[in-house]
């Protein structure tokens, strides 16, 4: 009867099965949930930290595709809710609704993909990378962080790289790991020296805006994951709008044709009260 | 005598001509000019903005919207950028293809008037007074549950705007007709019925209320029978256009509201259920109904269930 499955929006209370510190500021939280198990790469969930807040987090692993059948979110501490969540341990309860939104579309077998992640943005790209590799897409991953201590998912990425299933390039702003500089500089070089069918990216919007500009010049389609304030997550409250689209329902993944019509992209976002604030 | 409109769906509410009797309800997506334009392009006959007040307001922390199976529970807390910033969005919609109705709230009759005046100045075709604003100074209840306050607000607003004024009523009262009479006597040009019903959800595993505000408003299919009853009573007792709202999810629901006495309907929660295409789905269904039943215009069915 309905295009919008109310089942997905029902809040499930799940127990945290395991946690993993990715670095000093980032933690992955594993849980079991049937609906999340069948999610697609790039989709997000609303995580309720009882008594604190409810926040959007991308699935950093998807149960049906992980060895232990667990799904996960990976959270970077930036404020009250993320601090509370990062402090939680196995056995504690959280609420989960979702998965919500659209997802990354993988290119066809034999295609060539460039994946550009900035910091915690890598969380939403991990399931995508694993999917691309499964589909025999020739995948180059650029991962930029401030400093060596901000790296995350290096086991998962390192393994794929060691097996020769992805080409991995890491950049740090201070040169403490990989190449010194910004990931956008690395992207510019890689894009000019190779042919790509698609560019995927998730990270700070200023970074993605730059990546979009580079790809546009070369005529390569992009799929970027945008962030805005999420309240309802089901496309009715209007807090997440960018141009004529809703991040929670039409996004969070945006393709080049849509990005071209979003006047706000790379320029401003809406605050909790709906006022424009510069990116 | 005016001639029969050639478009059977075309109707009129308090002087506003609508190409069809569906409207986007307040608080549903109406936060920016771009998204309001998209709602219009998706087929709505008119669009109502998110409620705007005199000053910026952040609203409540999440969770603000909770699924309760038969509908949604929300306590978003009226986040809005304040009328001064929002006027920019209104001005941006000068060329909108359908009437733009700006929803207005305040914490006093003066504030309602101030916001309504600025909204009309910026280009609103009508204003809808959200009379379910919580925490009015002095009173614990909603503004809109006190007839004397409703009357004062409507009067003040009518005194400063020359566009139609809709009073949106709360169902959280024992006598909605009394409330409506106060609004109409003070000059309201139309009534919107209803806003959400006060409700709550508690999670049993953590033993906590889910909404950060604890109590919120119920919308969606669960409240439709209450809303239909309200519209029916209002149509029976008063001679003023009514806009039905509450749980409209299909053309059948829209027709039911019109038979009860609504000239048009607003759609909220169903935008989540069926997407923005809901306006087309409803209007196409209503059109087939009119053809099947042999009516030339949607206006012929307004209040039809009241006949002897
Ligand atoms: C679709 C989507 C996916 C995301 N995925 C991840 C992820 O996988 N890992 C991760 O660490 N972070 C992710 N985020 C960002 C994360 O939601 C915010 O960092 C978090 O909500 C901050 O909450 P806080 O209370 O700790 O911080 P606060 O101090 O409350 O806010 C800090 C900043 O976080 C952002 N923020 C706060 N609340 C929200 C909200 N309800 N919706 C959106 N942004 C908000 C705002 O920009 C705010 O200025 C995602 C955001 C979106 C929109
Ligand atoms: C998330 C949400 C936000 C709302 N915000 C407002 C608002 O700002 N002003 C208002 O008058 N009504 C608001 N409402 C109430 C709706 O306009 C409508 O009266 C109510 O939801 C019943 O209609 P429905 O069942 O079609 O949703 C809101 C409803 C929801 C679900
Ligand atoms: S978060 Fe409510 S519309 Fe997207």
Confidence class of residue A108 from pLDDT cuts 50, 70 and 90? Answer: confident
For chain B, the domains span 11-59+77-200+219-306
Question: What mean pLDDT, rounded, does chain A reach?
Answer: 95
Assess if residue A62 is contained within a domain. yes
* Same domain? A148 vs A271: yes
CATH code for the domain in which residue A92 is found: 2.40.30.10
Q: Which residues of B touch A (CB under 8 A)?
A: 27-32, 34-35, 37-38, 50, 56-59, 61-67, 69, 74, 76, 79-82, 85-86, 203, 205-206, 208, 210, 212, 268-269, 271-275
* Same domain? A265 vs A130: yes
* Same domain? A96 vs A116: no
Q: What is the pLDDT of residues B63-93, one digit of tens each?
A: 999 999 889 999 999 999 999 999 999 999 9
CATH code for the domain in which residue A179 is found: 3.40.50.80
Q: What is the pLDDT of residues A144-194, one digit of tens each?
A: 999 999 999 999 999 999 999 999 999 999 999 999 999 999 999 999 988
Strand, helix or coil at A278?
Answer: strand
The pLDDT of A202-208, averaged and rounded, is 97
Q: Which two tokens stand for residue A168?
A: 């991995």
Chain B CB contacts of A79 under 8 Å are none
Which amino acids of B are annotated catalytic? Answer: 133
Q: Say if CB A74 and CB A28 are below 8 A apart.
A: yes
Residues in the ligand 1 pocket, defined by CB under 6 Å:
A 44, 53, 55-58, 73-76, 78-82, 120, 123-124, 227-230, 252; B 62
Question: A50 touching B, CB under 8 A?
Answer: yes
* Same domain? A133 vs A12: no
Q: What's the rounded Cα separation, in Å, for the pair B283 and B280?
A: 5
Closest by alpha carbon to B216, among B78, B99, B53? Answer: B78
Q: Say if CB B49 and CB B56 are below 8 A apart.
A: no
Q: What is the pLDDT of residues B113-144, one digit of tens each?
A: 999 999 999 999 999 999 976 554 444 457 78
The pLDDT of B137-160, averaged and rounded, is 83
* Same domain? A122 vs A227: yes
* Same domain? A180 vs A270: yes
Q: What's the rounded Cα separation, in Å, for the pair B302 and B287?
A: 14
Q: Which domain holds residue A117?
A: 112-278
Q: What is the whole-number distance in angstroms between the Cα of residue B72 and the centre of ligand 2? A: 10
CA distance B47 to chain A (A): 14
Question: A30 touching B, CB under 8 A?
Answer: no
- Per-residue model confidence (pLDDT) at position B127: 98
3-state secondary structure chain B: CCCCCCCCCCEEECCEEECCCEEECCCCCCCCHHHHHHHHHCCCCEEECCCECCCCECCCCCCCEEECCCCEEECCCCCECCHHHHHHHHHCCCCCCCCEEEEECCCCHHHHHHHHHHHHHHCCCEEEEECCCCCCCCCCCCHHHCHHHHHHHHHHHHHHCCCCEEEEECCCCCCHHHHHHHHHHCCCCEEEECCCEEEECEECCCCEECCCCCEEEEECHHHHHHHHHHHHHHHHHCCCCEEEECCCCCHHHHHHHHHHCCCEEEECCHHHHHCCCHHHHHHHHHHHHHHHHCCCCHHHHCCHHHCC
Number of the ligand 1 atom closest to the C-alpha atom of A239: 42
Q: What is the pLDDT of residues B23-68, one digit of tens each?
A: 999 999 999 999 999 999 999 999 999 999 999 999 999 999 999 9
Does this complex have an ipTM over 0.90?
yes
Residues in the ligand 3 pocket, defined by CB under 6 Å:
A 230-233, 235-240, 246, 248
The pLDDT of B277-292, averaged and rounded, is 98
Closest by alpha carbon to B19, among B298, B270, B308, B239? Answer: B298
Chain A CB contacts of B30 under 8 Å are 238
| Binary contact (A3, B274; C-beta < 8 A) | yes
Distance, CA of A38 to chain centre: 17
* Same domain? A251 vs A131: yes
The answer, yes or no, to whether residue A217 has pLDDT greater than 50, is yes
The answer, yes or no, to whether residue B178 has pLDDT greater than 90, is yes
Q: Of A79, A100, A121, which closes a domain?
A: A100
For chain B, give the percent of residues with pLDDT over 70. Answer: 95
* Same domain? A82 vs A207: no
Residues in the ligand 2 pocket, defined by CB under 6 Å:
A 232, 236-237; B 25-27, 50-51, 65, 72, 74, 76, 78, 103, 130, 168, 195-196, 219-220, 223, 245-248, 267-270
Q: Of A100, A122, A142, which closes a domain?
A: A100
* Same domain? A152 vs A254: yes
CA distance B163 to chain A (A): 26
Q: What is the pLDDT of residues B199-214, one digit of tens each?
A: 999 999 999 999 999 9
Overall number of domains in chain A: 2
Assess if residue A107 is contained within a domain. no
Q: What is the whole-number distance in angstroms between the Cα of residue B257 and the centre of ligand 1? A: 40
* Same domain? A166 vs A128: yes
CB atoms within 10 A of CB A267: 12
Assess if residue A272 is contained within a domain. yes
Assess if residue A1 is contained within a domain. no
* Same domain? A38 vs A165: no
DSSP secondary structure letter of residue A105? P
CATH 3.20.20.70 holds for B11-59+77-200+219-306? yes
Q: Number of C-alpha atoms within 13 angstroms, CB side, residue B64? A: 24
Strand, helix or coil at A231?
Answer: coil
The answer, yes or no, to whether the previous bond of B180 is cis (omega within 30 of 0) is: no
Q: Of A76, A100, A124, which closes a domain?
A: A100
* Same domain? A81 vs A155: no
Question: A5 touching B, CB under 8 A?
Answer: no
The answer, yes or no, to whether residue A4 has pLDDT greater than 50, is no
């Amino acid at each position: 009867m309905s295009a919008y499955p109310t089942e997905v929006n029902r809040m499930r209370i799940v127990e945290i099965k395991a946690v993993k510190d990715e670095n000093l500021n980032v933690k992955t939280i594993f849980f079991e949930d049937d609906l999340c198990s069948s999610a697609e790469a790039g989709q997000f969930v609303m995580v309720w930290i009882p008594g604190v807040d409810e926040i959007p987090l991308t699935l950093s692993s998807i149960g049906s595709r992980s060895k232990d059948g667990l799904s996960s979110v990976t959270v970077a501490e930036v404020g009250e809710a993320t601090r509370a969540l990062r402090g939680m341990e196995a056995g504690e309860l959280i609420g989960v609704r979702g998965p919500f939104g659209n997802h990354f579309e993988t290119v066809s077998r034999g295609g060539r993909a460039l994946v550009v992640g900035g910091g915690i943005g890598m969380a939403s790209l991990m399931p995508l990378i694993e999917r691309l590799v499964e589909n025999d897409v020739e995948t180059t991953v650029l991962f930029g962080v401030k400093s060596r201590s901000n790296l995350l998912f290096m086991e998962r990425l390192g393994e794929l790289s060691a097996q020769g299933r992805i080409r991995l390039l890491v950049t740090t702003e201070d040169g403490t790991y990989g190449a010194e500089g910004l990931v956008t500089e690395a992207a510019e070089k890689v894009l000019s020296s190779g042919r790509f069918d698609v560019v995927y990216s998730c990270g700070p919007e200023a970074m993605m805006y730059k990546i979009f500009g580079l790809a546009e010049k070369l005529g390569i389609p992009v799929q970027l994951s945008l962030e805005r304030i999420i309240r309802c997550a089901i496309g009715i409250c209007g807090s997440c709008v960018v141009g004529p689209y809703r991040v929670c329902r039409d996004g969070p993944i945006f393709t080049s044709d849509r990005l071209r019509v979003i006047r706000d992209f790379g320029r401003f976002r809406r605050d909790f009260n709906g006022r424009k604030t510069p990116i | 005598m005016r001639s029969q409109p050639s478009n059977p769906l075309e109707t009129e509410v308090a002087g506003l001509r609508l190409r069809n009797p569906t409207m986007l309800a307040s608080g549903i997506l109406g936060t920016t000019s771009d998204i309001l334009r998209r709602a219009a392009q998706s087929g709505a006959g008119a669009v109502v903005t998110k409620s705007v007040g005199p000053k910026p307001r952040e609203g409540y922390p999440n969770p603000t919207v909770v699924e309760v199976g038969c509908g949604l529970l929300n306590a978003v807390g009226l986040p809005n950028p304040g009328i001064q910033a929002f006027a920019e969005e209104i001005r941006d919609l000068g060329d909108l293809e359908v009437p733009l109705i700006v929803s207005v709230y305040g914490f006093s009759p003066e504030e309602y008037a101030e916001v309504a005046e600025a909204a009309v100045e910026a280009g609103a075709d009508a204003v809808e007074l959200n009379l379910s604003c919580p925490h009015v100074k002095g009173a614990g209840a909603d503004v809109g549950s006190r007839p004397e306050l409703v009357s004062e607000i409507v009067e003040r607003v009518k005194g400063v705007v020359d566009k139609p004024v809709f009073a949106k009523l709360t169902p959280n009262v024992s006598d909605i007709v009394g409330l409506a009479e106060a609004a109409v006597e003070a000059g309201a040009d139309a009534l919107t019925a209803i806003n959400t019903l006060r409700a709550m959800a508690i999670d049993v595993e953590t033993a906590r209320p889910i909404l950060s505000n604890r109590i919120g408003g119920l919308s969606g299919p669960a409240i439709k029978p209450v809303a239909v009853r309200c519209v029916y009573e209002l149509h029976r007792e008063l001679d003023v256009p009514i806009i039905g709202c509450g749980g409209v999810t299909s053309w059948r629901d829209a027709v039911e509201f019109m038979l009860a006495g609504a000239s048009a309907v607003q759609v909220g929660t169903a935008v989540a259920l069926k997407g923005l295409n809901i306006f087309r789905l409803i209007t196409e269904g209503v059109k087939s109904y009119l053809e099947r039943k042999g009516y030339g215009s949607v206006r012929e069915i307004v209040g039809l269930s009241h006949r002897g």
